[in-house]
Chains A and B, each alone.
Chain A
Amino acid sequence: MPIFDLDSDTVTGPAVPGAPTERELHVDEIQGNILPGFGTRRQRLLGLKFDPAQVPAVRTWLGRQVDSISTLAQTNDQRNARRRALRQGQPRPLSPLLANIAFSVGGLRLLAPAVDGIGDTAFVTGMSWRSGLGDPGTPGNRDWVVGGSDETTPDALVILGADSPDDLEQGADALLGSVAASSGAVRCTYDQKGEVLEGETEHFGFRDGISQPGPRGRLSSLDRHFLIRRYVDPADPLALTHSRPGQPLVWPGQFVFGYARQDPDEALAAGPVRAGAYPWMADGSFLVFRRLRQDVTLFRKFVSEQAAALRAQPGFSELMPERLAAAIVGRWPKGTAVMRNAAGDDPDPMGDRLSVNHFGFAQAVPAVAVCSDPLVAIEELVAAPNGELRTIEGAPADPNGDRCPRFAHVRKVNPRDLTTDQNGPDRTLTLMILRRGITWGAPYPDDPAQQAADSGDRGLLFLAYMTSITNQFEILNDRWMNRAAGPEGGANHDLLVGQNQSGPRSGTLRSGQAEAAISPPESWVTPTGGGYFFAPSISALRSFATG
């Protein structure tokens, strides 16, 4: 008996006894890249500056864009269309052009009725000033492509999404045409294309975006019309707190203003509504954007040379570069968690999205029954008919970091069931962010001759949504990625993306009783742009347009 109908778009999970009631989200108000996320193969980011002497013209321009801003409802329709096509064995439907817009504090100062009461210190200060991020250069005057100073921080960041390059080009042309027609009220100062790489990896070759929190909330008054599809056996207590193994359910106020936030001490409990400082912030979200450049040559060189150096040390004679790289990331390239397989990648880890993220660190996780859904698990893996329960295997405990090092990126930014310097796993849920990033730049060439001539121009357009930049993104970045003793004592720095302007980064690799220090001489991920933005609701956009 199926636990729910997989072909329904309006019943997206089983009935779970004792589950809390989740509020309806304002699907026509919340911008669609926040929830559920564009999910398109291509994106284009356009940074716009407004002329402060022409605010009425800016408003007029904005008024002409609002109808094109994609909502949660529209983006979700597209997600459902993709799913339906997959179910029916049809090719993936091309997404229509999707568009979202967000404003920096500078942009809001021109458009919003008031801004000084916004209580998020990070947003109000601006990313280029936030020294705790560990970025090289001078605060407020960074040598960045975009956002290095208040002057070069766009007033608005438009995100366009499409699957086909022609659709994206057309959409950008239309937007740039409207900018050109604004008589200088609006200028485009930044224009960047992003594209999903083959295998959905980032440029170092690792599958990205595997782990996301599952925002609670419903899309209509139907009692099981959840935004996030639920798969866990309703008889398992895990079903109360997780949508799928490894995806915790988080109250939506952590990501969208105007909804209940998470309680820092109780995973299941809804906290009070997280209201922004102003009514126009309802249904909006902060957007963190960081243009990260990835030096693949440097990364590969370090991994290769360091592994070779370690092979000369007792206890590490078998250490190959692939193993070292997996230790730095916490996953193997195709996405298998080191906690689920210490020896190497499973044949097709993303073929079963319900098991790929099922692991903890402090405790072993038991086997768990989940709803069988061929859209998240390839046919061959499905041991039960669609919609019925199948069992996925658990994973061992690793409280001391013997299997997955404490410096591993996935462990540093998502310590899961570990006690941390910020408190416990329930507090960790309040730090989570919705990642919506996309890679930019050509894939790293396979041909060594081309590698030698490579420009190095590639990386990640890191994009993430949350309702507190100061207490979500910046805690993950400053206190966990960039600090050695966080989240765990003696944890060591995040060697993948952590930064430390005050000293070298280092980590301790263990192999049985043997220990070795790893200390990369340089960073291979460099921030080259970014900013803190706010993505308002559709109503707020309309009110800004009318002034």
Chain B
Amino acid sequence: MAAGWDAIIDHWLAHPHGDGPFPLFFHPRQHAGGTRAPIPWDAFPKVLTRWFEDDPQPDEARWAAAETLTTSDLGFRRYENGHVGALELVTHRQQDEYCEWHVDRDQAGHISRVAFTSEGPEYWEFLANGTRPFLPKDDPHHAAFDGDLGLVLELYRESVDPSVQESELVWPYDVVVRGRGGRWALRYPKGSYNGWNVWNTTRGCMHLTHPANSLQAEVALAADASIPYADAHGADLQDVQDLICCAAYGDPNRSSDPIIGAGVNGIARTGVSVSLANPVGLYIADADLDHFRGPAGEQVAGAWQVKRGDASRREILRAVFAAPDGATFSVDQMRADGVPIGTGGQIADAIQMERVGLGLDLGAGHVARSDCQAKCCIHPQHRSFRTIVPVATACDQVDWSGSGPAVEAPAAAPEPALAEEAVAPEAVELVEPEGPLADLVVQRR
């Protein structure tokens, strides 16, 4: 199993993003050594902080929005009885800094715990479905691991809720997407693991659900950000926002993409090659427990319980915030910076994320600077919020509808109708995907 996951990371590092080229990005297996460069950022979604920056009650607004679920179109459609149905939106969290959380409440409505995760969806799809969806058929590790849904179920029962049933974790029908060439490809067979299942969205948190929280996308980011850019005067772009707006390698409203990109680019600009330190991942680094106190002002070091990962290495995968063992109070009777805890966001405010880059001088020398293909435009009402557009687009032409977070939970979706596709012959002919299935998923940047 470990060899299988290793092979997937290896494949991503070898093919980080299309054809490249990435003259300043290296595969860490090919060159030993390098200087570690830890890159930290805030766990609380910066996109929400930006959106509500001028709100009369910015903290309350962002904390509430962070726990509001939303839906996204990933191109999924139900396929049953030879018919391709309507679009299937996935429900997910609006937390996109590689840290997602879920607030558990007991029967009386008290917060019993808040579970935090930084585990990527790809890892869980791998656990359930094995290596095949990720590796090309000609990769020697293509069939290294078959997947083990039973293991996934066991982990859910251990971490989320003992009553989880396997039937609740899987797709009840085939899910298809448009593959290469525009033909339908089977993305998730009926009965296979569904990362957006109820126990990982509305009722709990096992791993990341936001489409932008993709580990593969962050490997791609490291490669994309290794390309140096210059402005119209030939000067190297250095600023965090200038770089991401110019190179369009991520979402400028997040913390993660701009800061990681700038960290990687800062090394690459000097002619030093960059990569990612082992183990490759984006982790919860730590929580500053100074922020939290019990109802009588007591320190609560035992409130932060690391369940998966290694806190001493700042590589936490899962942690739970709960009243310390033996405490007679619940989480909502504790205070975060003097404010009674009512949301997980108040805890997330004290959490720091980290990924570690690697710099190694491989003699790449001076690499020609690229020109900007993109730029940022500022939202007319939310003036700390931006979107990336092609350089030639006028900012006053930007359609801002659909921007910004959902502030209300999605209404329960009606059963999507079948037989919406008029083209019957296409609907019945499924093709094997040409390349890793995971590549078919719309990568949100």
Q: Which of B39, B57, B290, B384 is in CB contact (< 8 Å) with A119?
A: B57
Chain A proximity of B91: nearest CB distance (Å): 30
Interface string of B360-389 (1 = CB under 8 A from A): 000000000000000010000001101000
Q: Which residues of chain A come closer than 8 Å to B266, judged between CB atoms?
A: 362, 399, 419
Q: Is A485 a contact of B290 with CB atoms below 8 Å? A: no
Question: Given contacts A419-B263, A426-B239, is CB(A131)–CB(B292) below 8 Å?
Answer: yes
Q: Which residues of chain B come closer than 8 Å to A501, judged between CB atoms?
A: 290, 299
Q: Is A139 a contact of B293 with CB atoms below 8 Å? A: yes
* B159 CB-CB contact with A under 8 Å: no
* A502 CB-CB contact with B under 8 Å: yes
Q: Is B291 a contact of A132 with CB atoms below 8 Å? A: yes
Q: Which residues of chain A come closer than 8 Å to B336, judged between CB atoms?
A: 131
Interface string of A254-297 (1 = CB under 8 A from B): 00000000011110000110100100000000000000000000
Q: Is A131 a contact of B291 with CB atoms below 8 Å? A: yes
Interface string of A483-516 (1 = CB under 8 A from B): 1011001100000000111100000000000000
From B17-25, B79-87, B254-262, B432-440, the one touching the partner chain is B254-262
Q: Is A419 a contact of B384 with CB atoms below 8 Å? A: no
* A13 CB-CB contact with B under 8 Å: no
Question: Given contacts A117-B57, A131-B291, A502-B290, is CB(A139)–CB(B338) below 8 Å?
Answer: yes
Interface string of B295-307 (1 = CB under 8 A from A): 0110101000000
Q: Which of A129, A134, A423 is in CB contact (< 8 Å) with B255?
A: A423
Q: Is B293 a contact of A500 with CB atoms below 8 Å? A: no
Rounded to whole angstroms, the CA-CA distance of A482 and B288 in the bound complex is: 9
Q: Which of A126, A140, A485 is in CB contact (< 8 Å) with B297?
A: A140
Q: Is B299 a contact of A119 with CB atoms below 8 Å? A: no
Near A by CB (< 8 A), chain B positions 319-354 give: 335-339, 350, 352, 354
Chain B proximity of A504: nearest CB distance (Å): 13
Minimal Cβ-Cβ distance residue in A for B356: A489
Chain A proximity of B323: nearest CB distance (Å): 16
* A23 CB-CB contact with B under 8 Å: no
Chain A proximity of B118: nearest CB distance (Å): 15
Rounded to whole angstroms, the CA-CA distance of A466 and B38 in the bound complex is: 31
* A189 CB-CB contact with B under 8 Å: no
Rounded to whole angstroms, the CA-CA distance of A264 and B56 in the bound complex is: 18
Rounded to whole angstroms, the CA-CA distance of A4 and B37 in the bound complex is: 46
* A141 CB-CB contact with B under 8 Å: yes
Q: Is A263 a contact of B383 with CB atoms below 8 Å? A: yes
Question: Given contacts A121-B339, A132-B337, A502-B290, is CB(A489)–CB(B383) below 8 Å?
Answer: no
Q: Is B338 a contact of A131 with CB atoms below 8 Å? A: yes
* B64 CB-CB contact with A under 8 Å: no
Rounded to whole angstroms, the CA-CA distance of A271 and B292 in the bound complex is: 33
Q: Which residues of chain B come closer than 8 Å to A140, judged between CB atoms?
A: 297, 338
Chain A proximity of B234: nearest CB distance (Å): 15
Q: Is B352 a contact of A485 with CB atoms below 8 Å? A: yes
Question: Given contacts A129-B335, A131-B338, A265-B241, is CB(A421)–CB(B55) below 8 Å?
Answer: no
Interface string of A138-158 (1 = CB under 8 A from B): 111100000000000000000
Question: Given contacts A132-B290, A265-B241, A424-B262, is CB(A489)–CB(B297) below 8 Å?
Answer: no
Q: Which residues of chain B come closer than 8 Å to A420, judged between CB atoms?
A: 259
* A470 CB-CB contact with B under 8 Å: yes
Q: Is B37 a contact of A134 with CB atoms below 8 Å? A: no
- Count of B residues near A, CB < 8 Å? 52
Q: Which of A121, A126, A362, A399 is in CB contact (< 8 Å) with B59?
A: A121
Q: Which residues of chain A come closer than 8 Å to B299, judged between CB atoms?
A: 501-502
Near B by CB (< 8 A), chain A positions 178-223 give: none
Q: Which residues of chain B come closer than 8 Å to A271, judged between CB atoms?
A: 383-384
Q: Is B240 a contact of A489 with CB atoms below 8 Å? A: no
Q: Which residues of chain A come closer than 8 Å to B259, judged between CB atoms?
A: 419-421, 423
Q: Is A139 a contact of B339 with CB atoms below 8 Å? A: no
Q: Is A485 a contact of B384 with CB atoms below 8 Å? A: no
Q: Is B241 a contact of A423 with CB atoms below 8 Å? A: yes
Q: Which residues of chain A come closer than 8 Å to B339, judged between CB atoms?
A: 121, 125, 129
Q: Which of B39, B55, B239 is in CB contact (< 8 Å) with A425?
A: B239
Q: Which residues of chain A come closer than 8 Å to B252, judged between CB atoms?
A: 265
* A68 CB-CB contact with B under 8 Å: no
* B162 CB-CB contact with A under 8 Å: no
Q: Is A421 a contact of B40 with CB atoms below 8 Å? A: yes
* A363 CB-CB contact with B under 8 Å: yes
Rounded to whole angstroms, the CA-CA distance of A219 and B376 in the bound complex is: 34
Rounded to whole angstroms, the CA-CA distance of A424 and B266 in the bound complex is: 12
Chain B proximity of A117: nearest CB distance (Å): 6
Q: Is A419 a contact of B288 with CB atoms below 8 Å? A: no
* A379 CB-CB contact with B under 8 Å: no
Rounded to whole angstroms, the CA-CA distance of A423 and B314 in the bound complex is: 20
* A169 CB-CB contact with B under 8 Å: no
Q: Which residues of chain A come closer than 8 Å to B291, judged between CB atoms?
A: 131-132, 478
Minimal Cβ-Cβ distance residue in B for A420: B259
Q: Which residues of chain B come closer than 8 Å to A528, judged between CB atoms?
A: none
* B54 CB-CB contact with A under 8 Å: yes
Rounded to whole angstroms, the CA-CA distance of A502 and B293 in the bound complex is: 12
Q: Which residues of chain A come closer than 8 Å to B290, judged between CB atoms?
A: 131-134, 478, 482, 499-502
Question: Given contacts A119-B59, A138-B297, is CB(A130)–CB(B337) below 8 Å?
Answer: yes
Q: Is A424 a contact of B241 with CB atoms below 8 Å? A: yes
Q: Which residues of chain A come closer than 8 Å to B41, judged between CB atoms?
A: 421
* B135 CB-CB contact with A under 8 Å: no
Minimal Cβ-Cβ distance residue in B for A134: B290
Question: Given contacts A421-B41, A485-B40, is CB(A129)–CB(B337) below 8 Å?
Answer: yes
* B96 CB-CB contact with A under 8 Å: no
A-B residue pairs, 5 tightest by C-beta? A129-B338, A424-B240, A489-B38, A138-B297, A265-B241
For this complex, 15 residue pairs linking A to B, each with C-beta atoms less than 8 Å apart, are: A117-B57, A119-B58, A129-B339, A131-B335, A139-B293, A362-B238, A419-B240, A423-B240, A470-B59, A478-B291, A485-B40, A485-B314, A486-B40, A486-B352, A489-B354
